[in-house]
Structure 1
Amino acid sequence: MQIDIITPDHTVFSGDVVSATFPGTKGSFQVLNNHAPLISTLERGQIKVRTNQDEKSWEVDGGVVEVLNNKITVLAEAILGK
């Protein structure tokens, strides 16, 4: 599935992933292929993605995530520590 992680000033990551984990406002959650449509707010925490080659993570300072038709769009307020 495709993921795009975007902040107001740049694209942090764009590519195919096997899974993604997010710090949701009501708790952490994971998205896998063919996940049901979803919109959620994010709180400060780790976004973790697993590709076929490796794992990547970013510290996010809030935002919104949308999952629809095997495409994940993350609008992050800020990526911390980068």
Structure 2
Amino acid sequence: MLLEIVSPEGHLFKGEVTSVTVPGVNGEFQMLNHHANIVSVLAAGDIKIAVGTLNAAAEYSPKFTRNEKEGKLVLPIKSGTLEMKDNRIIILVD
């Protein structure tokens, strides 16, 4: 599935991912390929992104950290909005 993360400064991430875990206002939730369409408000917390290889994602924003143990990229956010439709996720973050 395609993930795009955008902040006021510009694009932070754009690429194919295998899963995305986000901090929803009612708790953390995960989206996998072909997840049902969803629109959600995000709370403060971490966006966790599973990509094919962490080395392939090294070119993205330095705001990300790598969780080698889980094999995920992690982006802390203050708040945001998410839309998933047709296997494409767009996240707007503060």
**TM-score (normalizing by structure 1):** 0.91
- In 2, Cα distance between equivalents of 1:25 and 1:8: 21
Match of residue 31 from structure 1: 31
Q: How many residues align?
A: 77
Match of residue 20 from structure 1: 20
- In 2, Cα distance between equivalents of 1:61 and 1:7: 11
- In 1, Cα distance between equivalents of 2:39 and 2:33: 16
- In 2, Cα distance between equivalents of 1:52 and 1:3: 13
Moved over 3 A (4+): none
Shift of the alpha carbon at 1:52?
A: 1.0
**Bigger radius of gyration, 1 or 2?**
2
Shift of the alpha carbon at 1:10?
A: 1.1
Partner letter of residue 25 of structure 2? Answer: T
Unaligned runs of 5+ in 1: 78-82
Shift of the alpha carbon at 1:42?
A: 0.4
Partner letter of residue 14 of structure 2? Answer: S
**TM-score (normalizing by structure 2):** 0.80
Percent sequence identity is 35
- In 2, Cα distance between equivalents of 1:56 and 1:29: 16
Q: What's the Cα RMSD here?
A: 0.6
> Within 5 Å, which residues of 2 pair with 1:1-82?
1-54=1-54, 55-77=72-94
Partner letter of residue 21 of structure 2? Answer: T
Whose strand proportion is higher, 1 or 2? 1
